[in-house]
């Protein structure tokens, strides 16, 4: 399991960035330590680490699933991660178009609002 944890940590850092992972690690307590291990090994060390599809495709799927299930809190984080996964703004828009058709216009609309805000913040930080 240590290899899966190491792989998960490396991939999580690659996608979300060291700052995000370092902050999550610093805020970890006994209450969420097992949970953090679970997501590092399962989500990052297994699912995201699979070579079945690209990081770009995983990024698009993750954003679509977050929007479709109404888990909007993590959308900005995963929009910022597109800078590391290769998913373009157009890719994100296409993913949310699918959400509108298959999961509902209000969810896609809110996801697009968050995406616009986050892409604007990302652009402003590069200036």
76, 113 Cβ separation under 8 angstroms: no
Same domain assignment for residues 63 and 86: yes
* Residue after which a domain boundary falls, among 35, 52, 69: 52
Residue 126: which pLDDT band, with cuts at 50, 70 and 90?
confident
Q: What is the DSSP secondary-structure string of 30-75?
A: TTTHHHHHHIIIIIIIIITT-SSS-HHHHHHHHHHHHHHTT-GGGH
Same domain assignment for residues 73 and 97: yes
pLDDT at 42 over 90: yes
Same domain assignment for residues 64 and 119: yes
Range of the domain at 11: 1-52
Same domain assignment for residues 42 and 61: no
* pLDDT score for 1: 59
For 49-81, write each residue's pLDDT tens digit: 999 999 999 999 999 999 999 999 999 999 999
For 84-121, write each residue's pLDDT tens digit: 999 999 999 999 999 999 999 999 999 999 999 999 99
Collapsed DSSP state (helix, strand, coil) of residue 7: helix
pLDDT at 6 over 80: yes
- Phi-psi category of 65—alpha, beta or left, where left has phi over 0 and alpha has psi -120 to 50? alpha
pLDDT at 19 over 80: yes
* Residue after which a domain boundary falls, among 52, 68, 92: 52
The whole-number average pLDDT for the span 34-54 is 96
pLDDT at 20 over 70: yes
* pLDDT score for 2: 81
Same domain assignment for residues 41 and 9: yes
Same domain assignment for residues 17 and 45: yes
């Amino acid at each position: 399991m240590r290899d899966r944890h190491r792989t998960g940590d490396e991939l999580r850092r690659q996608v979300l960035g060291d700052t995000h992972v370092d902050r999550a690690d610093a805020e970890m307590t006994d209450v969420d330590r097992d949970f953090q291990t679970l997501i590092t090994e399962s989500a990052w060390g297994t699912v995201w680490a699979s070579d079945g599809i690209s990081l770009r495709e995983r990024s698009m799927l993750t954003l679509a699933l977050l929007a479709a299930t109404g888990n909007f809190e993590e959308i900005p984080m995963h929009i910022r991660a597109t800078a590391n996964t290769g998913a373009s703004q157009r890719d994100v828009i296409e993913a949310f178009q699918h959400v509108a058709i298959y999961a509902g216009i209000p969810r896609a609309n809110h996801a697009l609002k968050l995406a616009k805000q986050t892409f604007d913040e990302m652009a402003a930080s590069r200036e």
